[in-house]
């Protein structure tokens, strides 16, 4: 496996910074760095907007920070998109959409245990982007299959670029929308959704994983064909621990879990300390150990991260940077305790 465990640190990509160098320095402070997404710096840095680059039918209103879709525009632009289908640069994130990504690609990161990239996943993108009738494009039987293929292509191109910097590079598919996937959705059944996502993952090169902060169908997610799952255990500890058999199966298949434990929101951050966070995390591990999961193997297949992204703190990036520092301290405490 190229994805490290052993309680090394990484984080989700969306950050509140407006200074590219400061954001990148913060990302590089973790064991497994990534290129930050900075929507407060530019609307182009919004994760949905970055995923939408060159997607036919999309319309970007920079002044009002709004992304929409037109089926008529999709039909008009589809042929041009297909004409570029073998052009890697067409599917990569351009410098206009993320200067920080291109600065990241210029760094020497060969000595890191791994590096990571990310792109918004098709379910979340399809939920968030609405067509001319204010209907999510995920429900459009014409657009949806192409959307899955388009996003897979973009993920693979980015992963290829990152592997040139570090052979252990991997990708997060950011999918906050997965927590809504199996709620009542007219015209898109559970069976169809699962089949679509299995096919989508089969189009993505390894290593591949999913990041989300919500509370999805964990059985479905843990049984996907992927190598890494990043989640918010700080908020979802009780419910996640109840899926011990699926967690055990995932770990036994050499899956890695990124435990998002350090809060980034100002209020939650202020009420916690390193001891309380260690206690919360170990309480989950203790439950899983009691249900037959080998603790040494769990530690070996685990990483640590902040719990969530946060763009709305009154102190802007300061609490987020403190959370990044705390997750490093937490890693040190636990690695010493478990003799890593």
Range of the domain at 35: 8-337
**Residue 255 domain flag:** yes
- Compute the CA torsion angle 270, 275, 281, 284 (nearest 10 deg): -120
**Residue 2 domain flag:** no
Segments of the chain with pLDDT less than 50: 186
Among residues 230, 317, 263, 299, the alpha carbon closest in space to that of 10 is found at 230
Tally of domains within the chain: 1
**Residue 65 domain flag:** yes
Give the model's pLDDT for residue 184: 53
Q: E strands, the chain, where?
A: 8-9, 58-61, 66-69, 116-120, 170-174, 208-211, 228-232, 256-262, 302-306
* CATH number of the domain enclosing 98: 3.20.20.210
Give the model's pLDDT for residue 193: 79
Q: E strands, 16-143, where?
A: 58-61, 66-69, 116-120
- Statement: the pTM of the whole predicted model exceeds 0.75: yes
**Residue 1 domain flag:** no
Give the model's pLDDT for residue 1: 53
Give the model's pLDDT for residue 214: 86
Report whether 93 contacts 12 (CB < 8 A).
no
């Amino acid at each position: 496996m190229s994805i490290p465990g052993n309680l090394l640190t990484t984080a989700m990509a969306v950050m509140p910074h407006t200074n590219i160098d400061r954001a990148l320095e913060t990302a590089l402070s973790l064991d497994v760095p990534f290129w930050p997404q900075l929507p407060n710096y530019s609307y182009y840095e919004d994760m949905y907007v970055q995923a939408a680059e060159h997607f036919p039918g999309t319309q970007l209103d920079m002044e009002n920070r709004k992304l929409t879709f037109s089926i008529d525009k999709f039909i008009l632009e589809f042929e041009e998109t297909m004409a570029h289908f073998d052009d890697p640069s067409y599917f990569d994130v351009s410098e206009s959409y993320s200067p920080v990504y291109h600065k990241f690609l210029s760094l020497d990161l060969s000595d890191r245990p791994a590096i990571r990239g990310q792109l918004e996943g098709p379910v979340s993108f399809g939920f968030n982007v609405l067509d001319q009738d204010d209907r999510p494009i995920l429900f459009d039987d014409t657009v949806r299959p192409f959307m899955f293929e388009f996003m897979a292509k973009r993920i693979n191109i980015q992963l290829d670029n990152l592997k040139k910097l570090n052979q252990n590079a991997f990708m997060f598919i950011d999918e906050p929308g997965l927590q809504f996937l199996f709620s009542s959705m007219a015209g898109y059944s559970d069976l169809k959704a699962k089949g679509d996502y299995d096919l989508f993952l089969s189009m993505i090169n390894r290593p591949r994983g999913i990041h989300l902060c919500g509370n999805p169908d964990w059985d479905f997610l843990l049984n996907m064909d992927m190598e890494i799952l990043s989640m918010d255990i700080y908020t979802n500890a009780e419910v996640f621990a109840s899926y011990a058999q699926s967690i055990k199966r995932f770990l036994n298949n050499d899956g890695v879990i990124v435990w998002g434990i350090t809060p980034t929101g100002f209020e939650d951050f202020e009420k916690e300390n390193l001891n309380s966070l260690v206690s919360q995390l170990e309480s989950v591990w203790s439950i899983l150990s009691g249900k037959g999961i080998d603790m040494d193997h769990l530690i070996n297949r685990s990483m640590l991260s902040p719990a969530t992204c946060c763009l709305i703190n009154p102190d802007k990036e300061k609490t987020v940077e403190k959370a990044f520092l705390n997750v490093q301290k937490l890693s040190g405490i636990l690695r010493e305790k478990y003799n890593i």
